[in-house]
Amino acid sequence: MSLIDASLSFVPYGAPAQSMVGAAGVAIPIGIPFDLLGSGVGTPPVNYYGTPTLFGMDPGSGFLKPFLRTIVGVTFTTANSATLNLQLQYAVDTGAGGGYQPGTWNTIVETGVIAVANLLANTILPKLEFEPTFPYNVRPRYVRLNGAIAASTNFTAGTISFAGILAGADEFAQKLQGKAFTV
Protein backbone atom coordinates (compact mmCIF):
# COMPACT_ATOMS: atom_id res chain seq x y z
CA MET A 1 0.00 0.00 0.00
CA SER A 2 1.28 3.48 -0.74
CA LEU A 3 2.45 5.78 2.01
CA ILE A 4 -0.10 8.44 2.85
CA ASP A 5 -0.32 11.56 4.95
CA ALA A 6 -2.83 11.37 7.81
CA SER A 7 -4.40 14.58 6.47
CA LEU A 8 -5.49 12.61 3.39
CA SER A 9 -7.55 10.23 5.47
CA PHE A 10 -11.13 10.38 6.62
CA VAL A 11 -10.22 7.80 9.29
CA PRO A 12 -6.40 7.77 9.63
CA TYR A 13 -4.49 4.58 10.38
CA GLY A 14 -4.18 4.19 14.15
CA ALA A 15 -6.89 6.76 14.94
CA PRO A 16 -10.08 5.81 16.77
CA ALA A 17 -12.41 3.89 14.45
CA GLN A 18 -15.58 5.50 13.08
CA SER A 19 -18.72 3.93 14.55
CA MET A 20 -21.44 3.11 12.02
CA VAL A 21 -24.14 2.61 14.67
CA GLY A 22 -26.87 5.21 14.37
CA ALA A 23 -30.54 5.95 14.03
CA ALA A 24 -32.61 3.97 11.52
CA GLY A 25 -32.02 4.97 7.91
CA VAL A 26 -29.72 7.88 8.76
CA ALA A 27 -26.59 8.36 6.62
CA ILE A 28 -23.35 8.62 8.60
CA PRO A 29 -20.58 10.90 7.26
CA ILE A 30 -17.29 9.07 7.82
CA GLY A 31 -14.61 11.30 9.33
CA ILE A 32 -14.48 14.99 8.47
CA PRO A 33 -14.76 16.52 4.98
CA PHE A 34 -11.47 16.88 3.13
CA ASP A 35 -10.67 20.39 1.84
CA LEU A 36 -8.92 20.23 -1.55
CA LEU A 37 -7.48 23.70 -0.86
CA GLY A 38 -5.84 22.25 2.23
CA SER A 39 -6.75 24.99 4.68
CA GLY A 40 -9.85 23.38 6.21
CA VAL A 41 -13.61 23.84 6.18
CA GLY A 42 -14.64 27.39 7.09
CA THR A 43 -11.47 29.13 5.93
CA PRO A 44 -11.49 31.65 3.06
CA PRO A 45 -9.28 31.05 0.02
CA VAL A 46 -6.29 33.40 -0.15
CA ASN A 47 -3.67 34.45 -2.68
CA TYR A 48 -5.85 34.73 -5.77
CA TYR A 49 -4.57 36.75 -8.70
CA GLY A 50 -6.93 38.51 -11.08
CA THR A 51 -10.68 38.27 -10.67
CA PRO A 52 -11.57 36.88 -7.24
CA THR A 53 -13.43 33.59 -7.41
CA LEU A 54 -14.09 30.62 -5.17
CA PHE A 55 -11.53 27.86 -5.13
CA GLY A 56 -12.46 24.61 -6.81
CA MET A 57 -10.82 21.80 -8.72
CA ASP A 58 -11.61 18.48 -10.33
CA PRO A 59 -9.96 15.80 -8.18
CA GLY A 60 -10.85 13.07 -10.69
CA SER A 61 -8.92 14.48 -13.63
CA GLY A 62 -5.30 13.96 -14.52
CA PHE A 63 -2.97 11.10 -15.32
CA LEU A 64 -2.92 9.49 -11.87
CA LYS A 65 -6.39 9.23 -10.35
CA PRO A 66 -6.46 8.81 -6.58
CA PHE A 67 -8.79 6.33 -4.97
CA LEU A 68 -10.28 5.72 -1.56
CA ARG A 69 -9.45 2.58 0.40
CA THR A 70 -11.79 1.65 3.29
CA ILE A 71 -11.29 -1.13 5.85
CA VAL A 72 -13.82 -2.54 8.34
CA GLY A 73 -12.77 -2.50 12.01
CA VAL A 74 -15.37 -4.21 14.19
CA THR A 75 -17.68 -6.66 12.37
CA PHE A 76 -21.04 -5.13 11.48
CA THR A 77 -24.23 -6.58 12.94
CA THR A 78 -27.88 -5.68 12.44
CA ALA A 79 -31.25 -6.74 13.78
CA ASN A 80 -33.22 -5.40 10.80
CA SER A 81 -31.31 -6.27 7.59
CA ALA A 82 -29.30 -3.05 7.35
CA THR A 83 -27.00 -2.63 4.36
CA LEU A 84 -24.20 -0.15 3.70
CA ASN A 85 -23.52 1.92 0.58
CA LEU A 86 -20.27 3.91 0.68
CA GLN A 87 -20.52 7.15 -1.31
CA LEU A 88 -17.69 9.46 -2.38
CA GLN A 89 -19.22 12.94 -2.51
CA TYR A 90 -18.07 16.38 -3.71
CA ALA A 91 -19.36 19.82 -2.68
CA VAL A 92 -18.61 23.35 -3.83
CA ASP A 93 -17.57 26.18 -1.51
CA THR A 94 -20.49 28.38 -0.37
CA GLY A 95 -18.21 31.43 -0.21
CA ALA A 96 -18.19 34.29 2.30
CA GLY A 97 -22.01 34.39 2.48
CA GLY A 98 -22.12 30.73 3.47
CA GLY A 99 -19.15 30.83 5.86
CA TYR A 100 -16.96 28.89 3.39
CA GLN A 101 -18.86 25.70 4.24
CA PRO A 102 -19.59 22.80 1.86
CA GLY A 103 -22.61 23.34 -0.39
CA THR A 104 -24.88 20.52 -1.53
CA TRP A 105 -23.15 17.14 -1.49
CA ASN A 106 -23.22 15.31 -4.83
CA THR A 107 -22.49 11.58 -4.96
CA ILE A 108 -19.86 10.99 -7.63
CA VAL A 109 -19.24 7.27 -7.15
CA GLU A 110 -20.58 4.63 -4.75
CA THR A 111 -20.01 0.99 -3.90
CA GLY A 112 -23.62 -0.06 -4.18
CA VAL A 113 -25.36 -2.04 -1.45
CA ILE A 114 -23.03 -4.13 0.74
CA ALA A 115 -24.79 -6.80 2.81
CA VAL A 116 -23.92 -7.16 6.50
CA ALA A 117 -22.54 -10.67 5.79
CA ASN A 118 -19.73 -8.96 3.81
CA LEU A 119 -18.87 -6.43 6.53
CA LEU A 120 -16.57 -8.62 8.62
CA ALA A 121 -13.61 -7.35 10.67
CA ASN A 122 -10.55 -6.43 8.57
CA THR A 123 -12.46 -6.67 5.29
CA ILE A 124 -11.15 -4.35 2.60
CA LEU A 125 -14.19 -2.75 0.99
CA PRO A 126 -14.38 -1.96 -2.75
CA LYS A 127 -12.17 0.97 -3.67
CA LEU A 128 -13.81 4.17 -4.85
CA GLU A 129 -11.92 5.95 -7.63
CA PHE A 130 -12.13 9.72 -7.82
CA GLU A 131 -14.19 10.39 -10.93
CA PRO A 132 -14.43 13.68 -12.85
CA THR A 133 -16.99 16.11 -11.48
CA PHE A 134 -20.58 16.18 -12.64
CA PRO A 135 -22.00 18.45 -13.87
CA TYR A 136 -18.75 19.13 -15.66
CA ASN A 137 -18.71 22.87 -15.00
CA VAL A 138 -18.81 22.38 -11.21
CA ARG A 139 -15.48 22.63 -9.42
CA PRO A 140 -15.74 21.28 -5.85
CA ARG A 141 -13.58 22.31 -2.93
CA TYR A 142 -14.71 19.64 -0.48
CA VAL A 143 -14.75 15.82 -0.56
CA ARG A 144 -16.36 13.46 1.93
CA LEU A 145 -17.07 9.78 2.45
CA ASN A 146 -20.67 9.02 3.34
CA GLY A 147 -22.10 5.79 4.71
CA ALA A 148 -25.67 5.50 3.37
CA ILE A 149 -27.77 3.00 5.32
CA ALA A 150 -30.98 1.50 3.94
CA ALA A 151 -34.20 3.23 5.04
CA SER A 152 -35.75 2.07 8.35
CA THR A 153 -32.68 -0.05 9.18
CA ASN A 154 -29.56 0.42 11.28
CA PHE A 155 -26.45 -1.37 12.48
CA THR A 156 -26.16 -2.54 16.10
CA ALA A 157 -22.35 -2.82 15.83
CA GLY A 158 -19.67 -2.00 13.29
CA THR A 159 -16.81 0.40 12.68
CA ILE A 160 -14.60 1.68 9.88
CA SER A 161 -10.98 1.42 11.04
CA PHE A 162 -9.39 3.11 8.02
CA ALA A 163 -10.60 5.27 5.16
CA GLY A 164 -7.81 6.99 3.27
CA ILE A 165 -6.99 8.51 -0.09
CA LEU A 166 -4.24 6.68 -1.98
CA ALA A 167 -2.43 7.53 -5.17
CA GLY A 168 -1.71 3.91 -5.96
CA ALA A 169 -1.37 0.53 -4.34
CA ASP A 170 0.64 -2.58 -4.96
CA GLU A 171 -2.21 -4.99 -5.59
CA PHE A 172 -1.47 -8.49 -6.81
CA ALA A 173 -4.90 -9.85 -7.74
CA GLN A 174 -3.67 -13.37 -8.51
CA LYS A 175 -2.39 -14.02 -4.97
CA LEU A 176 -5.64 -15.76 -3.96
CA GLN A 177 -6.20 -17.72 -7.19
CA GLY A 178 -6.20 -21.51 -7.15
CA LYS A 179 -3.18 -23.22 -8.60
CA ALA A 180 -3.45 -24.72 -12.09
CA PHE A 181 -1.38 -27.79 -11.24
CA THR A 182 -1.11 -30.64 -8.74
CA VAL A 183 1.90 -32.34 -7.24
pLDDT (tens digit per residue) in 10-36:
998 888 999 999 999 999 999 989 898
Residue 138: CB atoms within 10 A of its CB come to 14
User: Could you tell me how many residues make up the chain?
Assistant: 183
pTM of this structure: 0.85
Domains of the chain: residue spans and CATH: 6-40+54-165 (2.60.120.1110)
Does the structure show a pLDDT above 90 at 58? Answer: no
- Scanning the chain, the segments in alpha helix (DSSP H) are none
Residues 6+ apart with CB under 8 A from 98: none
Please state, in angstroms and rounded to a whole number, the distance separating the CA atoms of residues 106 and 51: 27
The residue ranking higher by pLDDT, 3 or 52, is: 52
Please state, in angstroms and rounded to a whole number, the distance separating the CA atoms of residues 89 and 109: 7
Does the structure show a pLDDT above 50 at 2? Answer: no
Q: What mean pLDDT is predicted for residues 133-143?
A: 82
The terminus-to-terminus CA distance of the chain in angstroms comes to 33
Dihedrals phi, psi of 57, to nearest 5 degrees? -155, 165
Does the structure show a pLDDT above 60 at 4? Answer: no
The residue ranking higher by pLDDT, 168 or 112, is: 112
The residue ranking higher by pLDDT, 129 or 177, is: 129
Q: According to the model, what pLDDT value does residue 154 have?
A: 96
Please state, in angstroms and rounded to a whole number, the distance separating the CA atoms of residues 57 and 138: 8
pLDDT digits (tens, 9 = 90+) for 159-183: 999 999 887 666 666 666 666 656 5
- Strand runs labelled E in 36-76: 67-72
